[in-house]
Chain A
Amino acid sequence: MVTNKKQEKFWYFLFVFPALFAFIFVVIIPFFIGIGYSFVSWNGLATSKTTFVGLQNYRQLFSDVRFGSSAVHTIIFTVLSVLFINILGLLFALMVTTKLKINTVARTLFFMPNLIGGLILGYIWKFILSDTFKAIGEQTGWTKLFFNWLLDPTASLWALVVVITWQMAGYVMIIYITGIQSVPDEVIEASIIDGAGRVRRFFSITLPLIMPSVTICTFYTLSNCFKMYDTNLSLTNGGPGTSTELFAMNIFNEIFSFSHFGYGQAKAIIFFLFIAAITLTQVAITKRKEVQL
């Protein structure tokens, strides 16, 4: 039996080791090194000195105006995006869950932007929101809506919301479709007999029953919008000025553009704590709203 135990241990090790090895070197060790770096002051050059500064990097965050404003942009952007993505995604889902042949085509079209990477979407929309919008404005005279969005600080933040909504609405649509299809037909039929109209039926029956999907979609969109970097980079690059610099971009610039390695890493740690706190709270809240049949 002794050899058997040993053998079992050997197999356990053999199966778990490769996964764990890569995971430890790429995620776990860097995470702890990162915590270490957040307590030092260093400009990233191997030749220059690193000095231990304790919590000073974290204290400095409170007086960092640019970080503060990037926090505000990120929150505004995330709230608007999560709202629009979920409303549009849900509308699309409701629209294409009827028993019509056209639905497959429509789903394909609505979902398509999701497969194209954020960086590339940003470049496509950069052309549309700047040159194309300007040209449309000049031709139609509707200059209130059609102007170069990327030159105006407010419009430019909205540009990010538009692009991310365009990208992710199709993704949440897929999840909402699954939710809607799992609502039992009898419940819907019963409500029709009781005389509930479309709107009433949606708010009193469908919506409470698809709350699990709402939880998933809010969680997914919240954490993705909060971490968004590549569309931010390709569409506005933080501009005009720093008016659309989001959290993730601010951290990247602090470390790799300004070479404040320790300070930037402190920001990155705060960023992690923020994301963890928000997503965990969000899941706890919406989970409570779920109804079981």
Chain B
Amino acid sequence: MTRSQRNFGKIMYSIFVLALGILFIYPLFIMAINSFKNRAELYMNPIALPHHALWKNYAEAARKMSFLNALGNSVFITVISLLFIITFSAMCAWMITRKNTKLSRFLFFLFVATMLIPFQTLMMPLVQMMKWSKQFLGLRVLNTYRGIIFMYIGFGMSLAVFLYSGFVKTIPVSLEEAATIDGCSSFSVFWKIVFPMLKSTTITVMILDIIWIWNDYLLPSLVLNDKALRTIPLSTSSFFGVFTIQWNEAMAGLTMTIIPVIVFYFCAQKYIVKGIVTGAVK
């Protein structure tokens, strides 16, 4: 093969791979083009480009979904849950890895073994517990931010503790000992020395949990019935419950819900891939 033949082959191969990639996300393209059509045009030919962009669909969908409100709720719940998951799991993982006692080993086993429990096994008892906590303790969990955030913290612990303890093992203890001798308390040893070193795991936990919490449907559907508290998946599902036939508006609604995800993807792409690899390989 001559050089130019090989180059030609490379170009053809690149075009082929790119075409396949574009074909792969073609469904998203169909969604986007139909979000600009009116109903008649959409049913006449769902794969044709729109004659002219009908932005009205977006305004209507945004209003019916209370899109901005849902976006705000999703951001709030995801960010706050994440802050707590990271803080608590890192602290716990560091302690149970460093103090290798029977209790520590038992706790580690407990966190890891329960990863096998599917959410469906816990959902009904959780609903009951929410009712009891209101009835007997006067503590409202249902339809509150604190309720759902508390649950995300609980559910997020297993994986996060597991990932952090794997990483803590690779950090030499000598640094921590030196700091202790210099008079640091456990608290400042952790926050000043250990936590900054855990950065790569923190990013992994962040990525995995953002994807999970942002897209979660079942838990919020059980905890947040109040319309004002709806997250994006919830508002999408209620939108479809009532307006399934209005596909053009529905497509506008779906396109809007995907935009934040795509933006996040392009901003954090490098970390997403790294996070998924470390999360999976552990």
Contact = CB atoms under 8 A, between A and B. Distances in A.
Interface of A: 8, 11-12, 14-16, 18-20, 22-31, 33-34, 37, 46, 95-96, 98, 100-103, 105-120, 123-125, 127-128, 131-132, 135-136, 139, 166, 171, 174-175, 178, 216, 220, 227, 229-230, 233-234, 248, 251-252, 255, 261, 264-265, 268-269, 271-272, 275-276, 279-280
B154 A102 contact: no
B228 interface: no
Nearest to A11: B186
Contacts of A125: 27
B240 interface: yes
Interface string B112-125: 00101111111111
Interface of A is mostly: helix
A275 to B, nearest CB: 6
B64 to A, nearest CB: 14
B25 A230 contact: no
B30 A128 contact: yes
Interface of B is mostly: helix
Given A119-B217, A127-B34, 20 more contacts: A11-B187, A22-B154, A23-B114, A30-B126, A33-B129, A37-B124, A100-B17, A109-B21, A118-B215, A120-B215, A123-B254, A135-B46, A175-B280, A229-B218, A234-B240, A255-B123, A261-B124, A265-B124, A268-B120, A276-B116
Given A12-B99, A34-B125, A127-B31, A26 B21 contact: no
Contacts of B125: 29-31, 33-34, 37, 265
B59 interface: no
Contact of B122 (A18, A27, A108, A166): A27
A212 B108 CA distance: 24
Interface stretch (B49-57, B170-178, B256-264): B256-264
A253 B156 CA distance: 26
